[in-house]
Structure 1
Amino acid sequence: MAIVKLSAAERRRLSAFFTCLVLASLAWLFTTLSKPYDYNVKRVLTYRNAPQKRAFHSLQSDTVEVIVKGTGWQMLFSKMNDENTPIVADLRTLDNGNFVVLSSQLKQINDKDVNHEIIAINPDTLYFDFSYRMVKRVPVHLVAALKYQQQFAQSNNPIVKPAYVTLTGPANRLSKITQWDTDSLIAEDVNETIRTKLNMQAASEGNMSMYPKTVDVVVPVDEFTEKTLQIPVKIINNFDYYNVKIFPQKVKVTFVTSLKKYAEINEDFFEAESDLNLWRLQGYTILPVKLIRYPPFCKIVRIDPPNIDFIIRK
């Protein structure tokens, strides 16, 4: 590779060229940043002169977008500085209305912000709610769509902490609320207990607030297996006190249960019955067996036999 050799005079000229180029670039940058520009920044809203005789609640966010006129230097530093001066809105007009127009207050707002000239605010009009407000505590409702691996399933009730959220808002709206949903918990191929944190669904109304906004959720998951027990059948609605003999007296109930609860589940967790009214009123010659009690989160596979024979002696 050829190496270009420069003489001392050529090196001086090249050095002078790059020096002039750097100085020209700095001069251009300084001139450009010294020109006025309109640019957007976000500012936090604060209030003064709040009405003393009316309880109010803002219907919009406490952050607004402000169009500011300033130099390029100010625009540059505004992007780097998060501690911008807040917008102070005067709420004196709320004594007779339910909104405040910020454009009518630009002079007072600019008087407090001597470093920047605000030319517009979005939103320009702030609306407020004056309805009677109340506080209500409602249970949390877990919204879940879970798909489990084969032989796995939910083994107990989900645990949600805290189990209640506190709502604040208009009384006529809160009176209709009986629970509050979480964001959806979605998972596939689940084969172990789920422990996660979920956000609560946000209120669609701006005049409602909620606490807390997140909850801890535990969904117990376990592997399931089949188990079979002999369950005695009880006759109900024997109003005439007939002597009823049934065959068989017990039925085999096959169900799927959690491995952790397999050993502890016995006949005492189940109750089976047959209704004698089906014979007395409808002429049935065999009686179907119905399980009226069994452990939660146990899935019944089959009852054998599903019907029983009977003999009645009057």
Structure 2
Amino acid sequence: MAIVKLSATERRRLSAFFTCLVLAVLAWIFTTLSNVYNYTVQEVLTYKNAPQKRAFHSLQPDTVKATVQGTGWQMLFSSMNRESKPITIDLSSLENRNFVVMSSQLKQINIKKEITQPIISIDPDTLYFDFSNRLVKKVPVHLMLGIKYRKQFAVSGNVIIKPAYVTVSGPTERLKQIKLWKTDSLNGTNVTETVNTRINLQPVKEGNLNVYPKTVQVIIPVDEFTEKTLEVPVKLINNHNYDNIKVFPQKVKVTFTTSLSRYPDMTEDLFEATADLDLWRDHGYKSLPVKLTRFPPFCKIVKVSPPNIDFIIKK
């Protein structure tokens, strides 16, 4: 292949040519992107001033096509950055009609948008709504709990949520599907003391629903736990023939964990251990397994010793 050899002067001329070409292309791109264009973007709708006496359901998706006026640079960056603010629509006109004209609210919408990128039209321009009877209902609050406790610490009592119920209002058919309302997730790690905080409820996703209040107080009692062992008498059940039966041993040792604050109050009266005689009568058991049928809440049973008892039936 032939190699073209250029003189120093020719190389300088060629370098100057490509430099001018690159600068010309950059100048053209800069000029083009500096011009003003109309371009279309997808925008999410949110609602305000919803009618209090009429429940509604939007008959179109919650996104619209907005024609925006801006420079080529803004058009370029708008395709990269999709974290734009949603369009807020005023629904006060739904008190006496079933549609909202978007073009009549463009001035208010653009006040909340960047002044350099005004919205000049929205498709569809008219939003239609379906109306139904409005219902008010109380539903329990469901706490979304993601707390991790330090070793030997745990929940030591009932979790308190104030208020335990929230009021939901909206279309009758929609409220029939709502059985509870969740909170935001309550998280924590290495927790060693009682949690007392306010937490938000999960936000309403439909514009025709209202939830009150928006936050609740959550109290989670937390304490350190330790082991304790008690001797609990075994109660024989299903002695249908009232046979004279003697069990060995008459008491079993129950080892469990309990909070330090409740440790002194843990007595054998709070526990009940049973052995079922039907297991011998119907299934031929030689010894009867011991079952704990009653023990205090927030106690974790570690072991029952012995797990089985022997018995003698006197004729």
TM tier relative to shorter chain: 0.5 to 0.7
Q: How does 1:116-127 map to 2 (within 5 A)?
A: 119-121=120-122, 124-127=125-128
Q: How does 1:258-277 map to 2 (within 5 A)?
A: 258-277=259-278
Q: Which residue of 1 aligns with 2:26?
A: none
The alpha carbon displacement at 1:203 in A equals 3.1
Q: Which residue of 2 aligns with 1:100?
A: 100
1:273/1:123 CA distance change after superposition, 3 Å: farther
1:179/1:223 CA distance change after superposition, 3 Å: same
Q: Which residue of 1 aligns with 2:84?
A: none
**1:172 and 2:169 are equivalent in the alignment:** no
Matched residues in 2 for 1:238 and 1:44: separation?
A: 69
Q: Which residue of 2 aligns with 1:249?
A: 250
Name the amino acid aligned to 2:222: V
Matched residues in 2 for 1:260 and 1:234: separation?
A: 29
Name the amino acid aligned to 1:57: F
The alpha carbon displacement at 1:100 in A equals 3.2
Larger mean Cα displacement after TM superposition, 133-142 or 245-254: 133-142
**1:303 and 2:304 are equivalent in the alignment:** yes
Q: Which residue of 2 aligns with 1:221?
A: 222
Matched residues in 2 for 1:185 and 1:45: separation?
A: 28
RMSD between aligned residues: 3.9
Is the 8 Å Cα contact of residues 233 and 249 (structure 1) preserved in structure 2? yes
Q: How does 1:153-172 map to 2 (within 5 A)?
A: 153-172=154-173
Name the amino acid aligned to 1:137: K
Is the 8 Å Cα contact of residues 242 and 312 (structure 1) preserved in structure 2? yes
Q: Which residue of 1 aligns with 2:194?
A: 193
Matched residues in 2 for 1:65 and 1:211: separation?
A: 32
The alpha carbon displacement at 1:295 in A equals 0.8
Q: Which residue of 1 aligns with 2:204?
A: 203
1:242/1:122 CA distance change after superposition, 3 Å: farther
Q: Which residue of 1 aligns with 2:185?
A: 184
Matched residues in 1 for 2:96 and 2:122: separation?
A: 18
The alpha carbon displacement at 1:313 in A equals 2.1
Q: Which residue of 2 aligns with 1:230?
A: 231
Matched residues in 1 for 2:49 and 2:208: separation?
A: 17
Q: Which residue of 2 aligns with 1:27?
A: none
Q: Which residue of 2 aligns with 1:76?
A: none
Q: How does 1:131-170 map to 2 (within 5 A)?
A: 131-170=132-171
1:298/1:90 CA distance change after superposition, 3 Å: closer
The alpha carbon displacement at 1:265 in A equals 1.2
Q: Which residue of 1 aligns with 2:32?
A: none
Name the amino acid aligned to 1:264: D
1:210/1:309 CA distance change after superposition, 3 Å: same
Matched residues in 2 for 1:164 and 1:88: separation?
A: 28
The alpha carbon displacement at 1:172 in A equals 2.2
Q: Deviations over 1:211-250 (max 9, x none)?
A: 0111111111101111011111111111111111111111
Is the 8 Å Cα contact of residues 181 and 201 (structure 1) preserved in structure 2? yes
Matched residues in 2 for 1:312 and 1:283: separation?
A: 13
1:89/1:215 CA distance change after superposition, 3 Å: closer
Q: Which residue of 1 aligns with 2:42?
A: none
Matched residues in 2 for 1:242 and 1:44: separation?
A: 75
1:188/1:87 CA distance change after superposition, 3 Å: closer
1:203/1:312 CA distance change after superposition, 3 Å: farther
1:125/1:234 CA distance change after superposition, 3 Å: farther
The alpha carbon displacement at 1:88 in A equals 8.4
Give the SS at the match of 2:265.
coil
Name the amino acid aligned to 2:258: T
Matched residues in 2 for 1:44 and 1:279: separation?
A: 69
Is the 8 Å Cα contact of residues 148 and 188 (structure 1) preserved in structure 2? yes
The alpha carbon displacement at 1:262 in A equals 0.2
1:285/1:89 CA distance change after superposition, 3 Å: closer
Give the SS at the match of 1:245.
strand
After superposing on structure 2, the runs of 4+ consecutive aligned residues of structure 1 that deviate more than 4 Å are 43-48, 64-69, 86-93
Matched residues in 1 for 2:49 and 2:162: separation?
A: 35
1:67/1:192 CA distance change after superposition, 3 Å: same
